[in-house]
């Protein structure tokens, strides 16, 4: 068994943090898509641009907010179910586990998780894990008893002690190892991703309490109401808005390449392009830091107005998708998400 191994192209060490910094809470913007994309490039299983991965997995279409617009919104979903399906869409076979660190059996799971992650690294494949955001475990050192993890933004190395795995600012622990890859039918995957977009827009995630979270179309109503009430932290709300601006740009870039699916796709493409532009305007307003941070009424009202337009535009995009695949969606009745 190796004592240490590092997948050099997934991580770098210019300002490596020490073990004492292992519990530093990061900004929570590293998404599952970011981590998966980097690993796919590393393994050379796929060479699509990032927005294609975001679209093909249907992850970009997710829209969830909590009722205080906290940064937790962007990672609030059923990781076990959706990350499994996301990998499956790409033809990737995975193994994954997760749970709560307060459970009495956690120390046993922790030890097995570290073994599984190290075994994946030995195979030359980084593992995806949750460490206050989705990160990549790209190396380990048994002498130091640490995993080397890289943040999606910049891949900066962080030393995570084995006995700190799963101990986050929230009680959730999770990891996924990628085992193998098979080619997929791109036409079918892209078609299905758009059908899943309809499902995500119209369906509340049953794992999330509806009194605390809003999903899909309902998220726009909650965003506007929360901004109107003023009961939000400006920095966290800005993180949420910037994240969804990026995801809507991903969608616009993704569907722009899917005209071949149907002659009717032009309508889908147009609405998502408009949606990306609206979110760009929202970010421009948020970036006016003085007005945003002081909750200046004109600034807030402008964003609320843009959010209303964005909600209507995304609804038109979803309606356009329904017109592209009416038979498939119709045949699924109320189980649109059932593949």
Tokens at 177, concatenated: 């190892």
How much is the pLDDT for 17? 42
Average pLDDT of the chain, as a whole number: 90
Q: What pTM, to 2 d.p., does this model score?
A: 0.89
How much is the pLDDT for 327? 78
Phi and psi at residue 66, to the nearest 5°: -90, 170
pLDDT over 80 (residue 36)? yes
Q: Indicate the pairing of strand 156-161 with strand 12-17.
A: parallel
pLDDT over 60 (residue 114)? yes
Alpha carbons 14 and 200: distance in angstroms, whole number: 40
pLDDT over 50 (residue 28)? no
Instruction: Please answer whether residues 166 and 113 qualify as being in contact, where contact means their C-beta atoms are separated by less than 8 angstroms.
Output: yes
Q: Which residues contact 220 (CB under 8 A, 6 or more apart)?
A: 307, 308, 310, 311, 314
pLDDT over 50 (residue 2)? yes
Higher-confidence residue of 11 and 229: namely 229
Alpha carbons 235 and 246: distance in angstroms, whole number: 17
Phi-psi region of 155 (alpha: psi -120 to 50; beta: other; left: phi over 0): left
pLDDT over 90 (residue 157)? no
170-196 confidence digits (pLDDT tens): 999 999 999 999 999 999 999 999 999
What is the percentage of the chain residues whose pLDDT exceeds 70? 89
């Amino acid at each position: 068994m190796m004592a240490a191994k590092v997948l050099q192209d997934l991580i770098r060490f210019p300002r490596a943090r020490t073990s004492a910094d292992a519990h530093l809470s990061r900004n929570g913007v590293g998404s599952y898509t970011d981590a998966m994309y980097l690993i796919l490039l590393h393994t050379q299983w796929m060479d699509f641009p990032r927005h294609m991965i975001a679209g093909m997995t249907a992850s970009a279409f997710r829209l969830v907010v909590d009722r205080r617009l906290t940064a937790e919104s962007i990672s609030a979903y059923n990781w076990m179910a959706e990350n499994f399906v996301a990998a499956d869409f790409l033809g990737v076979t995975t193994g994954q586990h997760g749970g709560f660190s307060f459970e009495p059996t956690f120390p046993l799971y922790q030890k097995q998780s570290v073994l599984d992650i190290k075994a994946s690294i030995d195979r030359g494949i980084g593992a995806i894990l949750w460490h206050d955001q989705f990160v990549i475990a790209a190396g380990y050192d048994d002498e130091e008893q640490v995993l080397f993890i890289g943040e999606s933004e910049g891949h900066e190395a962080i030393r995570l002690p084995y006995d700190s795995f799963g101990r986050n600012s929230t009680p959730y622990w999770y990891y996924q190892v990628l085992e193998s890859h098979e080619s997929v039918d791109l036409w079918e995957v892209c078609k299905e991703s758009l059908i899943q977009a309809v499902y995500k827009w119209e369906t509340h995630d049953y794992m999330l309490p509806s009194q605390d979270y809003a999903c899909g179309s309902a998220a726009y109503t909650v965003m506007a109401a929360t901004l109107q009430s003023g009961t939000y932290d400006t920095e966290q709300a800005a993180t949420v808005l910037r994240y969804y601006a990026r995801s809507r740009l991903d969608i616009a870039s993704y569907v722009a390449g899917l005209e071949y699916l149907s002659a009717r796709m032009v309508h889908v493409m147009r609405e998502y392009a408009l949606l990306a532009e609206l979110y760009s305007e929202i970010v421009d307003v948020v970036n006016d830091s003085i007005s945003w941070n002081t909750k200046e009424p004109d600034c807030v009202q402008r964003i609320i107005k843009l959010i209303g337009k964005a909600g209507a535009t995304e609804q038109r995009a979803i309606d356009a998708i329904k017109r592209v695949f009416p038979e498939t969606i119709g045949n699924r009745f109320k189980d649109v998400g059932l593949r």
